[in-house]
Amino acid sequence: MKKEKAVSSRREFIKATSLSASYIGLGGFSLQNCIDKTQSYSYADLFEIFKNPEAEARPFFRWWWNGNCVNKEEITRELEIIKKSGAGGVEINPIAMPDHVENPPEGLVWLSEEWCEMIIHAANESGRLGLITDLIVGTGWPFGGEFIEPE
């Protein structure tokens, strides 16, 4: 009987501290942003929201578009997998293939009409799935690479 009480108390402690720990872990993001502030919530309601948070409170994927080799069917397929994983959204990183890659696949030209169509398709599919989409500005890492001379 004593052991059951300890387990129950520990579980209650974990439940009670989870909301404050998630607030700290998310850099100050508050689950209050994901709930209707005009409604009064019970402990059980808040725990349910914590177990099944809105997209804003879920982890995001950094989604590499290597060489910008993308098409609508693959974008849809990957977003559906990402949604099933429990993620809240994606951050698209369109990154160029390194110069040393032999016979690189033919990718889309960054900011071309076709490339922009893929971004629009990704955003529309994300919306359909309830995911959030973000986009890194530029192609690749804007702050350098192996091609930068030491001096």
Give the range of the structural domain holding residue 107, as residue numbers without chain letter: 58-135
Domain count, the chain: 2
pLDDT digits (tens, 9 = 90+) for 66-79: 888 999 999 999 99
Residue 96 has pLDDT above 60, yes or no: yes
Residues 6+ apart with CB under 8 A from 90: 60, 61, 62, 63, 79, 82, 122, 126, 131, 132, 133, 134
Q: Is 112 part of any domain?
A: yes
Q: Is 74 part of any domain?
A: yes
Radius of gyration of the chain (CA): 21
Q: Is 143 part of any domain?
A: no
Q: Is 150 part of any domain?
A: no
pLDDT digits (tens, 9 = 90+) for 31-83: 555 556 667 878 888 888 888 888 888 899 999 998 889 999 999 999 999 99
Enter the pTM of the model: 0.62
96 in the same domain as 78: yes
